[in-house]
A and B are shown apart, each in its own frame.
Chain A
Amino acid sequence: MTTSRPPLLRSRTAVIAGVCTGLATHLGWRLRSVRVWMAALTLLGGAGALLYLWLWVLVPLESTTDEPPRRTAPVAALLVAIGAVAGIVAISAMPSSDDVATSALVGMTLALGIAVAWNLILDRTDAGRTSSYGWWVRGVAAGVFLIVGTVALASRPAAFNAFLGVAAVVLGIAVLVAPRVVTLWTDLQASQTARVRDEQRAEIAAHLHDSVLQTLALIQNRAGASTEVARIARAQERELRDWLFTGSAPVDADLAQELRDIAAAIELDYAVRIDVVAAGTAFAANPALVAAAREAMLNAARHAGGDVSVYLETTASAIDVFVRDRGPGVALADVPDDRLGIRESIIGRMARAGGSATVGAGASGTGTEVHLHLEVV
């Protein structure tokens, strides 16, 4: 045999457990003939059912997604129906034949027990099963248990059937209680794993805070603010800090965060330290303002380097962004017309967005300060 078969895997969309679909794919047969063979083997003393169970246990699920498998056959409801029929048989056979009643009671207990277990374990994760379906299955199962159990006890039965009757009543009550217990149990498990995970994370955070972050601070301290080494240490520090303290909380795409991200990206490429300070209410990022601020920060990084301060102030009526550096400074009149940086990307862009931009000397005449202003409508 040189042709390779597809691997034997159980399908995630299944009637019962996906065994037949998996076999059909693996053997290259038609699905219908696999099912006919399975049914025929089941008639031969239950061999097909055993084979089915054996394959169910041993063959892995196909792993295309993490979704729990969907089952089309309402197995739990069918089993409840079988259990109900067995219960009726047991009641009607009770006065005449104790042996028939016993096997009917055992069959009923098995069918209903499996139905409830199936419902609690397999249907719980199945998106195709509603919770009212679950209530129906368990309610009817409990009802059958209780009625048959009481009737069996009331009809002065043989010793073994009396025992089965008591068991049926107890099981009926258990079925009603089971979902609560299962829910409590899974909740407990989930909260325990969550707590362990949080504790571990806090421990790692404390340890890293005490060791790695301190070392990164020391490296920056010894290497000088705007050297290559300090820059890398700072980027690492920021990344680590984000991972440690932001956790899995969703990051709001507000203006301050946007500016911080831009600053972090620029720091990676240029010998510069950008300090972003934000005050006021959070605002959604305005694309034109963000682009102009980015251009201003890039200019500061390219032409000045060193320490750059970015201050964002948002009030109910306006947004102001100040970007200042301590470089050689820029005189707007000296910039040639063909240089698009400041004139187009900052001033023009802000004007088109309905705001304004001023580029001037920083405090005491050192460096440059860009001020972006945008009224909020």
Chain B
Amino acid sequence: MTTVVIVDDHSIFRSGLRSDLDASVEVLGEAATVDEAVALIASLTPEVVLLDVHLPGGAGGGGAEVLRSSAALLDRVKFLALSVSDSAEDVVGVIRAGARGYITKGSSGAEVSRAVAAVASGDAVFSPRLAGFVLDAFGAVAGEQAASDSEIDRLSAREQEVMRLIARGYAYKEVATELFISIKTVETHVSAVLRKLQLSSRHELTAWALERKLL
């Protein structure tokens, strides 16, 4: 049983999602604004927070602001971002603030439940769109990787392969079969990429984020 708090400013969406989630997920509470969410997460400390990217209240920072305010809890509480679209613009800000993955609001209850379980067990949830963005931001496609010497600013050959397959729409299990590795190894690679996405100061990434006022 995974305990969850749903943070979204639309009551219809919250109740719809709540009724759609599997029996494996227990919803502890709901919050509609940044301030409500920060208080509720601190008092309930759920395993996973389903966090809308766009939220009213607080200083206007939306989901990323909730993450920054709850930074002390990040090793106990995992955040899964929910976004109305799967454009990188919406998502990279919350990922860099500490979210463990994201899922679009159009996803079915079963998909959300699976993603919640994955995030709760410490894995990252990557979509094809986000994988494509990572390949772009780390220069993996343009072949300019060698120019960067810091470990955190570049993807290993294996990580690139994994990202490429995820971008092609492969599930973790299919990636594992394709590359003759275990699912656990795939998950390790994805988590490593997520960490790099969060910590890298790679020029393209920061410039990209600055340009869109995400930092």
CB distance from A188 to the nearest CB of B (A): 27
**Bound: A234/B85 CA distance, A:** 11
Residue from A222, A279, A364 in contact with B141 in the complex, judged by beta carbons closer than 8 Å = A279
Query: Which residues does chain A contribute within 8 Å of B178, judged by CB atoms?
Result: 363-364
Nearest chain A residue, comparing its CB with the CB of B83: A217
CB distance from A326 to the nearest CB of B (A): 9
CB distance from B24 to the nearest CB of A (A): 18
| Binary contact readout A180-216 vs B (1 if CB under 8 angstroms, 0 otherwise) | 0000000000000000000000000000011001110
Q: What is the size, in residues, of chain B's interface with A at 8 Å between Cβ atoms?
A: 39
Nearest chain B residue, comparing its CB with the CB of A224: B108
Chain A contact surface mostly: mixed
- Counting chain A residues whose Cβ lies within 8 A of the other chain, the interface size class is 35 or more
B12 near A218 with CB under 8 A, answer yes
**Bound: A224/B107 CA distance, A:** 8
Query: Which residues does chain A contribute within 8 Å of B85, judged by CB atoms?
Result: 213, 241
B168 near A311 with CB under 8 A, answer yes
| Binary contact readout A289-322 vs B (1 if CB under 8 angstroms, 0 otherwise) | 0000000000000000001110101111000001
Query: Which residues does chain B contribute within 8 Å of A316, judged by CB atoms?
Result: 142-143
Knowing A209-B54, A279-B141, say if A221 contacts B132 (CB, 8 Å): no
B164 near A313 with CB under 8 A, answer yes
Residue from A221, A225, A313 in contact with B17 in the complex, judged by beta carbons closer than 8 Å = A221
CB distance from B116 to the nearest CB of A (A): 15
B129 near A277 with CB under 8 A, answer yes
Q: Give the number of A-B contacts (CB < 8 Å).
A: 101
Residue from B106, B107, B142, B169 in contact with A311 in the complex, judged by beta carbons closer than 8 Å = B169
**Bound: A311/B133 CA distance, A:** 12
A364 near B173 with CB under 8 A, answer yes
**Bound: A329/B30 CA distance, A:** 43
Knowing A277-B167, A307-B169, A364-B174, say if A217 contacts B132 (CB, 8 Å): no
B106 near A221 with CB under 8 A, answer yes
**Bound: A102/B106 CA distance, A:** 82
A363 near B84 with CB under 8 A, answer no
Knowing A279-B136, A309-B128, A363-B177, say if A218 contacts B169 (CB, 8 Å): no
List residues of A (209-265) whose CB comes within 8 Å of B's CBs. Answer: 209-210, 213-215, 217-218, 220-222, 224-225, 230, 234, 241
List residues of B (92-142) whose CB comes within 8 Å of A's CBs. Answer: 104-109, 128-129, 131-133, 135-136, 140-142
Knowing A363-B175, A363-B177, say if A214 contacts B105 (CB, 8 Å): yes
| A328 sits at the interface (CB 8 A) | no
| A162 sits at the interface (CB 8 A) | no
Knowing A220-B106, A224-B108, say if A363 contacts B174 (CB, 8 Å): yes
Query: Which residues does chain B contribute within 8 Å of A222, judged by CB atoms?
Result: 16, 20
Query: Which residues does chain A contribute within 8 Å of B133, judged by CB atoms?
Result: 279
Nearest chain B residue, comparing its CB with the CB of A233: B106
B105 near A275 with CB under 8 A, answer no
A364 near B177 with CB under 8 A, answer yes
A221 near B168 with CB under 8 A, answer no
Residue from A214, A230, A241, A322 in contact with B10 in the complex, judged by beta carbons closer than 8 Å = A214
Q: Which 4 pairs of residues, A with B, have the shortest CB-CB distance?
A: A309-B169, A363-B174, A217-B105, A280-B141
Q: Interface residues, chain B, CB within 8 Å of chain A?
A: 9-10, 12-13, 16-17, 20, 54, 84-85, 104-109, 128-129, 131-133, 135-136, 140-143, 164-165, 167-171, 173-175, 177-178
Sampled A-B contacts (13; CB under 8 Å): A209-B84, A217-B106, A218-B105, A221-B20, A234-B106, A279-B132, A280-B142, A281-B141, A307-B169, A313-B141, A363-B177, A363-B178, A364-B173
